[in-house]
Amino acid sequence: MMNPNKEMELNEKDELLNNESATNLQEETGTMSANDMQADNVADKKNNLQKKYDELNDSHLRLMAEFDNYRKRTLREKAELIKSGGETVLTGLLPVIDDLERAMQTVRTAEDVDAVKEGVELIYNKFITYLGQQGVKSIQAIGEPFDTEKFEAVAIIPASDDNQKGKVIDSVQTGYTLYDKVIRHAKVVVGE
């Protein structure tokens, strides 16, 4: 038989071990539920991030498609403008052509040369007025200092006086600008 004191000590040890096991089991259960909660949080975050990614990706794809449609539409509009842009200009020239046709018929049968000259001058003035409405202006050359941006020198002649040196003495062909951009240089004679 065992000593009652030893038996009591053993009982106390068993009780302590049982208490420790129960505490460890509770801690493990608490730890497991914390791990489960953490795993659930990670899964929720992952799902939220996946949803945000899907939304952003969808938005990006829609934006790309919208931009592509815009680009194609703009190219079509530009092509249409280029194709029909000259229509307005040409439509404005038709009355001048009509006047020239009438003038040519009149020249064939006219006996009054002064009337023909006057008619041609009217047509010329009408044409110049139309060009002015379209932004085309002639470049004034004679007496101006020679400027390579506006003029093309076709000849250089000795100047009769010092005031004409480096200036345009004569214009062989008129130059034109379109809204201040030179579209044809004036061909000029320059004094040296």
The helix or strand, by DSSP H or E, that contains position 20, with its residue range, turns out to be helix 4-109
pLDDT at 72 over 80: yes
How does 88-99 read in b/e, with b if 16+ C-beta sit within 10 Å?
eeeeeeeebeeb
189 in a domain, yes or no? yes
Distance from C-alpha of 9 to C-alpha of 116, rounded to nearest angstrom:
144
- Name the pLDDT band for 87 (thresholds 50, 70, 90): confident
Residue 14 lies in a domain: no
Q: How many other CB atoms are there within 10 angstroms of residue 152's CB atom?
A: 13
Confidence check: pLDDT of 8 > 60: yes
Sequence-distant (6+) residues with CB within 8 A of 122 are 99
Q: What is the pLDDT, as a whole number, of residue 29?
A: 52
Helical pair 4-109 and 113-133, crossing angle rounded to 10 deg? 170
The CATH number of whichever domain residue 156 belongs to comes to: 2.30.22.10
Asked if residue 143 is part of any domain, the answer here is yes
- Burial group, residue 168, by CB count within 10 angstroms (0-12, 13-18, 19+): buried
Q: Based on the structure, what is the number of domains in the chain?
A: 1
Asked whether the predicted pLDDT for residue 189 surpasses 80, the reply is: yes
In a domain, 23, yes or no: no
Question: Does residue 152 form part of some domain?
Answer: yes
Q: Is the pTM of this model over 0.75?
A: no
- Containing structural domain, residue 188: 135-192
Model confidence band, residue 31 (pLDDT cutoffs 50, 70, 90): low
Digit-coded pLDDT (tens) for 156-167: 999 888 888 899
